[in-house]
Structure 1
Amino acid sequence: MNNKSFCTIADVADLIPGLREVRQHLHQNPELSNEESDTAALVADKLRALGYQVTSGVGGHGVIGSMTLGTGKRSIGIRADMDALPITEMTGVSYASQLPGKMHACGHDGHTAMLLGAAGQLARSKNFSGTVNLIFQPAEEIGFNSGAERMLAEQLFERFPCDAVYGLHNHPGYPIGKMMFRSGPFMAACDTVNITVHGKGGHAARPHMTVDPILVASSLVVALQSIISRNIDPNETAVITIGSLHSGHASNVIPETARLEMSVRSFDAGVRKILEERIRTLVSNHAAGYGARAEIEYVPGYPVLVNHDKETAFALEVAKELIGADNVVENLAPISGSEDFAYFLQQKPGCFLRLGNGDSAVLHNPAYNFNDESLSFGVAYWTRLVERYLTDE
């Protein structure tokens, strides 16, 4: 196969200044999950101008840009997420968010810009034969009832058939131009557990006449960690994090209730089931041991993201062609973050990969910013992946 016939980074260099403007415009005007109306309108307008068949309003504010060329029968889907986070920006950049309490702290502005760039390069080079479906997805950050779930509920792949589907996320801490892959389980399932401990309130000077929910909740914080150390196989990975504990308003009052909010993560369906069973049993019995009662709300989140072997090997091969084997990590360690692209991979073979974002702040941090130096790598990679997948050869 003649690699020179497919997209290179140099081929997209002239697109980057305009894409940087788009990216920074999106950064200045972030929209939270299920609010991406302006972002979706911008995406749809640009796709139409490039000659794509555009369908809007899929799964909320989702936009699909489709193009068919030649006689090829295969089809491919490439996905970018569009939503921002409820975080107050602290980057200090000139194009910082203009909306207080909202910012692109995960780089979805960059993901959207890269896929728009690939749309432009594919439209002008026309170097493929088959159908490409560019999927601009809303509401990835919401954690449940996400954009991916709702797009699938609205028959995404029946309406826009894809033989394979691909997506990526930027990755702080890895150099610009590096791409990282892993076949099999790659990103964690994430469930949310809300626990309300019901005790008996009273005067701080008379604790014997109360059932102190703060004592119970505090004890639960420690006891829950025993599930990881004593109920989960040491060869498996699982995380229980209590991110919130709230109770009471005054130092001399024992309150009636205490509330804990937890994030529970795992990479195996069996482990995920054990975690739920043990959390429910331990919390209920532990509270009862203090004379309290626990109310448990278990909210299933995104499943484990599992990359398919064949599609991952193909994506890896394309990356090596584009940037060289030295810039490709073939077996990145599993990531404990979660991603609703997992729902797409439950229905279609494909691969989710990572792209270096340089020495930036970590994701979901108020100082984070997508690195515009990554744009050319993402645009060229998506273009080349489509060209290679939809080649007549």
Structure 2
Amino acid sequence: MAAHRKPRHRSAGGHRARTAATLALAGAAAATAFDGTGHAEPELTPTQVKATVNKLYQEAEVATEKYNGAKEKADAAQRRLAALQDEAARKEERLDSARDALGSFAAAQYRSGGLPPALHLALSDDPDRYLDGASLAERAGDRQSAAVARVRRQLREIEQLRGAARIELAALTSRRAELKRHKKTVTGKLDAARRLLARLTAEERARLAGQGQGTDRAFRAVTAGRDRPTAPGGPVAAPDSRAAAAVGYAYSKLGSPYVWGATGPDAFDCSGLVQAAYRSAGVFLPRTTYAQIGAGRRVARSELLPGDLVFFYSGISHVGIYVGNGQMVHAPNPSAPVRVAPIDEMPFAGATRVV
């Protein structure tokens, strides 16, 4: 009789453990592919690189707008702190003058045979002691009482200013820490994008950088002449002279490099270009995209006119200046200069007409 072998039973737990180990190793390899600590990086097609780089640029722009907002608040806190410090210094000068006047009076009192207790308190280097015992000033004459009251009021005002300055300093410190965090995020995203682009050949990078440049070249040819620049499809009138001036400024900056945090005159990020364009027209706009969208009257996409601000992505992280016929001038990202582009190339989020 043939010998029959019993079938080998595999442990379900052992199978799951081996599967988990395999997945863990695969995950580790994938996770380390981008930081250089694993084995060879996976090969990506130029299209995949472009998609990933665009995503990194969009994420960097979100962080850039947060950085711009934090910087705006930090600058405001710095100005308020400086103003408080200046005001406190002026009040301290007036306090010194008042103390000098009291000192002169005290010297005269001493020569005449005595110094009222209130003056002792007023001339004390210990303001708390002075404030606690200020009621003794009532024992002095009318002139002395008024002088002591002025010193007391000035001491209180100075202490209030110092308290406000401490609050502003704390706010400034917090904003600077926030700036540092956002800067780290921006630079990390941009470095990752540069590493990805470096994996392409020079020809592939040139091809990617050249996409969309045909429209730019056409616009540069128009702006090089005497004619007023217009979008493809014929001229579209701006609603007013300020919008026209902003559009003209944007055209004049075609080809300027994108630099995150920049507001011109030679480099821009997206909201920096918009702010600079309207500043040239005498209109002050907020610094960030999510503040700029509230700086005018909202308009529907079908109602767009040159000079309107067009915003993109759900987080309102990108902005351009509409120039007519479905086109805008914008500062795209570090891989492309200020250029003309269709508003359809990004997810449209809304538009504002500056009023």
Q: Same fold (TM over 0.5)?
A: no
Q: Which has the higher contact order (CA 8 A, sep 6+)?
A: 1
TM-score, structure 2 as length reference: 0.21
| Higher relative strand content | 1
| Higher relative helix content | 2
TM-score, structure 1 as length reference: 0.19
Larger Rg: 2
